[in-house]
Structure 1
């Protein structure tokens, strides 16, 4: 088969765009909340079937049990080139089961059609575009790398069970493309690291009316702590600290014996991560009878643009120029993804290879369906460039 030029690949993606959108909507109509294990299991079965329908049976398939989280599925398709690429994406969403009922489609306030639905932007569109990208790359006649798809069902809750699988797959691949949504069309080359710290204050209970002096309020101490913790933030350095949940006490007439807070922390560098750890540990509350315990639960390390990822970005930019799209922008964003794990291993990775749209985690999340062909052909073209290992291009 004669290899198709870039323009023909883009045109082919345009021709099959209705089928790609149909597959996207098929996935969106099956709800996959991170906390709905039966829904996740059925959703992964659907995604597996869709992949086989479009690409045939993989050369290797493995379903990794997630325990209390959604399972992780890896599917490997042997290529015709020497390269090996991982395409990574999550099928779980932040939306509780039932959110689809009554979901309204957005209007066209900017003159462009939009499609909306739970998880359509983050990130079921990216999953489908990745599947079709390999299909189009194969059909084009160019050599293609071996591709391992990794679909995980727990990214939105920290990739608690899938992280070891992600790291293992990434270490066996020459490069990883994460099919998360774009930043308004830009790929994501830097992401903040994040942690959810649980702070527990243990005080002394007492009757609030008869003997308040004998009590030591965990709630008062925790309030002091979270105010002090907020002051540790350094927005100029990219460090944000948000106490999003607080609970405690047993009654209005009882000096609170216990209280807890969950604190979301985002950092742009490992140095800031260490500074925040030390600063929070140094906080002291006024009533020394209250014991403060901090669970330093860093979930994802910061992601920065390394030299190897910069080479991958340069290849992606060559593809977009060849396809007539001009230069491909990149962006640093505050959210974290599974790309953070890959970057922390020092491996080449690009994130944000998926949908163009907006409003992730909001009821109005949407995609622009007219961008689906271009995004699919970008990944397809990049796969063609990666038929040989990235390291061989140095």
Structure 2
């Protein structure tokens, strides 16, 4: 296997990062999907573009190798980012400082997606011995609401899944993730003038505050359960007893049974004040991704392939963040995650990739695509 051209790889990654593609901007996401399609033109790769839904961008499925019923390898990347339009020009321009290449979405996860596509192109051009599929999605950063079905459909046909989320802790990959639940809570009280009619009011914010403290108290580190209220809003004016309050709940669990237990507790919230009403909507968004014996076996194969290029491939203990790998792992399909670029600062204004990780990670992905069986 010949080495990858680092300068060409960095130019390609920078070209992708220069296309701003926050999840909510379907046009920007589709420009990224256009670019993926253009980057494989003329190669023995079949392209299937799937129109977006619910105002979100498109997905694209690339296929190479023999198109048979035999289970093959599925690679998954997302092209959406969390950074709003204008971040590139104002707060996080593409620039290189030593081993760091900065840019919005470069670490999570355009750098990893790009290097994986380069490896996929090589594997396809060399005549892959087994079916290879590469899925690019538009909505991972908001929980993959429109693409979960597609992810699971392709996952069921795979013998192994490789996810190009960024590497962790100096190049470690991910072999287990917590499950994720998301809920929205609406509290309705009774409005009243805060001066002349205060006793008549029933404060939605006061009720919400009591509920928030109860939810935060559900966190149980010993069980690996965390509950977080990350956003809240309420009220209409400083001199009005607030009629409405709203807040979000983020739930993370290790065990599926805990997901069901805490989901029931959150959905079953009851008001302290009988004159207030609480409405809760939501569910488990991503099931837990467990490090099963099959995942361990796949990881050991990847370690052996990494050793050929002088890489001591380690994995991290179960991480709290979710990814599309949760969906395929929950189906029982061996899944490796965190195979993307190394760096730091995901979702921040110092997000960067490590230049030194580009070629080794691409080499590893090429070996995984051509040597796994």
Shorter-chain-normalised TM-score: which range? Answer: over 0.9
Q: What is the 5 A alignment of 1:255-266?
A: 255-266=241-252
**Counterparts of 2:250 and 2:269 in 1: how far apart (Å)?**
17
Size of the aligned set, in residue pairs, is 370
Q: 1:183 touches 1:331 (CA, 8 Å); kept in 2?
A: no
Give the equivalent residue in structure 2 for 1:155: 140
1:65 to 28, 52, 65: 52
What do residues 249-285 of structure 1 show as CA deviations (whole Å, max 9, x unaligned)?
A: 2222222111111122222221221232243355544
- Where 1:200 maps in the other structure, the secondary structure is strand
Q: 2:175 touches 2:315 (CA, 8 Å); kept in 1?
A: no
Give the equivalent residue in structure 2 for 1:87: 75
Give the equivalent residue in structure 1 for 2:327: 341
Q: Does 1:301 align with 2:287?
A: yes
Q: Does 1:97 align with 2:97?
A: no
Q: What is the 5 A alignment of 1:163-312?
A: 163-184=148-169, 185-281=171-267, 283-312=269-298
What do residues 156-210 of structure 1 show as CA deviations (whole Å, max 9, x unaligned)?
A: 1111111111111111122111111111311111111112211111111222222
- Where 1:375 maps in the other structure, the secondary structure is helix
**Counterparts of 1:257 and 1:41 in 2: how far apart (Å)?**
41
**Counterparts of 2:221 and 2:10 in 1: how far apart (Å)?**
39
Q: Does 1:13 align with 2:3?
A: yes
**Counterparts of 2:263 and 2:128 in 1: how far apart (Å)?**
48
Q: Any stretches of 5+ residues in structure 2 without a counterpart?
A: none
Q: Does 1:76 align with 2:66?
A: no
- Where 2:161 maps in the other structure, the secondary structure is strand
Q: 1:186 touches 1:331 (CA, 8 Å); kept in 2?
A: no
**Counterparts of 1:133 and 1:41 in 2: how far apart (Å)?**
22
Alignment CA distance shift 1:253-1:329 (3 Å): closer
Q: What is the 5 A alignment of 1:311-390?
A: 311-386=297-372, 388=373
**Counterparts of 1:385 and 1:88 in 2: how far apart (Å)?**
18
More displaced stretch, 249-258 vs 185-194: 249-258
More displaced stretch, 304-313 vs 85-94: 304-313
Q: Any stretches of 5+ residues in structure 1 without a counterpart?
A: 1-8, 389-394
- Where 2:175 maps in the other structure, the secondary structure is strand
**Counterparts of 2:7 and 2:66 in 1: how far apart (Å)?**
27
Give the equivalent residue in structure 2 for 1:4: none
Q: 2:56 touches 2:138 (CA, 8 Å); kept in 1?
A: yes
**Counterparts of 1:138 and 1:44 in 2: how far apart (Å)?**
19
- Where 1:70 maps in the other structure, the secondary structure is coil
Shift of 1:329: 3.2
Give TM-score, length-normalised by structure 2: 0.93
Give the equivalent residue in structure 1 for 2:131: 146
Shift of 1:229: 0.6
- Where 2:84 maps in the other structure, the secondary structure is coil
What do residues 114-146 of structure 1 show as CA deviations (whole Å, max 9, x unaligned)?
A: 10101100001111111111233456x685422
**Counterparts of 1:35 and 1:315 in 2: how far apart (Å)?**
38
**Counterparts of 2:272 and 2:67 in 1: how far apart (Å)?**
67
Q: 2:101 touches 2:352 (CA, 8 Å); kept in 1?
A: yes
